Structure 1
């Protein structure tokens, strides 16, 4: 479980996050949504330690991450898997080498053990046998799946995903959503996803936090969205004619 308590983040005179408190549950798809500039990516970076909160606390399973120094944070960092928006694969490395990269950094496993883990992760994301390909030989959806394979290579307790469906076609987006959801439930991972994809929200949004102007404006599940009278949330989620029609049919 991850808790954030009264988190603020200021850059110069720009206050991006304004006192956000929330809890992210293990085994759930915890989504952070909101318009451009609402603070969702900044919040994600504050949780994983890429930004330091100006005020407030981030707590991993009862341990105050915010108050730790670099060395104290290492045990928690080794339990974090991260899928970046552009997958962030190393172009000069093969698929297998990309997946083994965190294992090389943080474990003392033998080469054969790391290769076995890479093979397992590739099988889990339906890319068995793609070990020796390079990122330039992969489609956008395959790159995302390799990114997921690398993110789970360390068997993380916490998985952070930034815009997983960016640049993907609708069919591939659904496959990525389903894969993230399956892994979350299968391993009881605390998964936090930043997304603007309303199909993801309605499809896998077990727990959703909606940010508006740097504040937590609404919190609930995808089943509760259709019933909310929150004006800003409705304007965001049901902006398109397709989503308005979907809401009317619920």
Structure 2
């Protein structure tokens, strides 16, 4: 479980997050949604320690992460898997080397053990026999899956995904969503996904937090979302004709 309490973050004079509270439960896919500039990615980076909030606390299974020193954070960081928006693969490394990079940093595995683990992760995301390919030889969807394979290499307890469907076609986006959901259940991860993809929201949104202008305006399930009377949420969600049609079916 991850709990965040009263998170505030500014850049210079610009307030980006104001008083954000939430609980993300294990075995569930939790989504953070909101318009551009609402603070979604900044919140995610505050949770994993890439940004330091001016105020507030982050707990990983009741361990206060925000006040730990570098050494204290290492055991928790070993349990974090991260899928970045652009997959963040190293162009000069092969697929296998990209996955093994994390294992090199955090484990004492032998070379053969690392290779076996990389093969297992690639098989898990349906990318067998891609070990020697470079990122430039992969499609956008394949890059995302390699990013996921790297994220699960350490058997993560916590999985974070920043816009996992960005730049993907609808069919590939659904496959990525299904994969994230399957892995969350398989590993009993606490999974947090930043997205603006409403197909993802309706498909895998067990818990959803809506940010607007750096504040939490609403939280609940995707079904609850369709019946919300929060105007800012409705303006965001039902901008799409597809979502308007979904709401009509609930009536």
TM normalised by structure 1 equals 0.99
Q: 5 Å matches for 1:1-250?
A: 1-250=1-250
How far the C-alpha of 1:206 sits from its partner, in A, is 0.5
Shift >2 Å, 4+ stretches: none
Counterpart secondary structure, 2:72: helix
Partner SS, residue 193 of structure 2: strand
SS of the residue 1:26 aligns to:
coil
Instruction: Provide the rounded CA distance (Å) in 2 between the counterparts of 1:135 and 1:160.
Output: 21
1:47-68: per-residue Cα shift (whole Å, max 9, x none)? 0000001100000001000000
Q: Say which SS state the counterpart of residue 216 (structure 2) adopts.
A: strand
Output the CA distance in 2 between the equivalents of 1:185 and 1:216. Answer: 27
**Cα RMSD after superposing both structures:** 0.6
- Mapped to 2, the partners of 1:204 and 1:242 lie a distance apart of 16
Look up the SS of the partner of 2:202 in the other structure: helix
Cα distance, 1:168 vs structure 2: 0.2
- 3-state SS in 1 of match to 2:217: strand
Q: CA deviation at 1:149?
A: 0.0
What is the CA–CA distance in structure 1 between the aligned matches of 2:214 and 2:131, rounded to whole Å?
Answer: 42
Q: Provide the rounded CA distance (Å) in 1 between the counterparts of 2:36 and 2:122.
A: 33
Paired with 1:144 and 1:213, the residues of 2 have a C-alpha distance of: 29
What is the SS of the residue equivalent to 2:26?
Answer: coil
Query: Are the aligned partners of 2:31 and 2:194 in contact in 1 as well (CA < 8 Å)?
Result: yes
SS at match of 2:160: strand
How many residue pairs match? The answer is: 250
- Whether contact under 8 Å (2:227, 2:247) holds in the other structure is no
Q: Which runs of 5+ in 1 are unaligned?
A: none
CA drift of 1:247 comes to: 1.4
Q: Which secondary structure does the structure 2 equivalent of 1:178 belong to?
A: helix
State the Cα distance separating 1:242 from its structure 2 match: 2.0
Deviations 1:21-48 (A, max 9, x none): 1000000001000011111111000000
The CA deviation string for residues 179-232 of structure 1, in whole angstroms up to 9 with x for no partner, is 000000111000000000000000000000000111110000111111111111
CA distance in structure 2 between the aligned counterparts of 1:241 and 1:28, rounded to whole angstroms: 28
**Structure 1: how far apart are the matches of 2:3 and 2:17?**
16
- Per-residue CA deviation, residues 92-124 of structure 1 (Å, 9 max, x unaligned), is 111000011000111000000001100100010
Classify the secondary structure of the residue corresponding to 1:186: helix
